[in-house]
Amino acid sequence: MIVKIKKMIAITSLLTATFSVANTWSVKAETNDPMTTNKTYYALSPSFEPMNKVSFPYSDARSWIGVGCNTDNDYWAFIGFNKANFTGGEWKNGSKYHFAKIKYDDVINTIYLFEPSDGRDFLNVGSSGLPRLY
């Protein structure tokens, strides 16, 4: 469990530095199945506005960063939106991927963001070329 917490802290630090998010993060826990002890934990950043204003109907758009883990030793990172209209992207193996570049410690890497198949307003974060954090 200590190793998982270190991984989650590393991912959270990477995302926080990448997106320059300040303020206090919230943490919440959910019970996945009331018949078992499986739990899911989330760390969520405060929501923030886009760096460049966008026009109606997205003028009040906000987003946030989240990191999750569970007692099954899974962990993930995502970007959430109150309004989203994901355009472009590339379909691969039943998921739609969007490629983006991030800069961390003067190193530019490519990451992929993929849309969940259930159509929610989230982009899950994957990596390509980033050092493995686990």
Higher pLDDT, 46 or 56: 46
- Give the span between the Cα atoms of 65 and 47, in whole angstroms: 8
How many Å separate Cα 105 from the centre of its chain? 20
Alpha helices, H only, 1-134: 2-19
Is residue 122 domain-resident? yes
pLDDT in tens, 109-129: 888 888 876 667 888 887 543
User: Residue 26's domain spans which residues?
Assistant: 2-128
- Residue 53 has a pLDDT of 81
34 cis-preceded (ω within 30 degrees of 0): no
Is residue 134 domain-resident? no
Is residue 98 domain-resident? yes
- Give the span between the Cα atoms of 121 and 58, in whole angstroms: 13
Contact yes or no for 8/69 (Cβ under 8 A): yes
Is residue 118 domain-resident? yes
Is residue 133 domain-resident? no
pLDDT in tens, 62-107: 888 999 888 888 888 888 888 877 778 888 777 788 888 888 889 9
Q: Structural domain tally of the chain?
A: 1
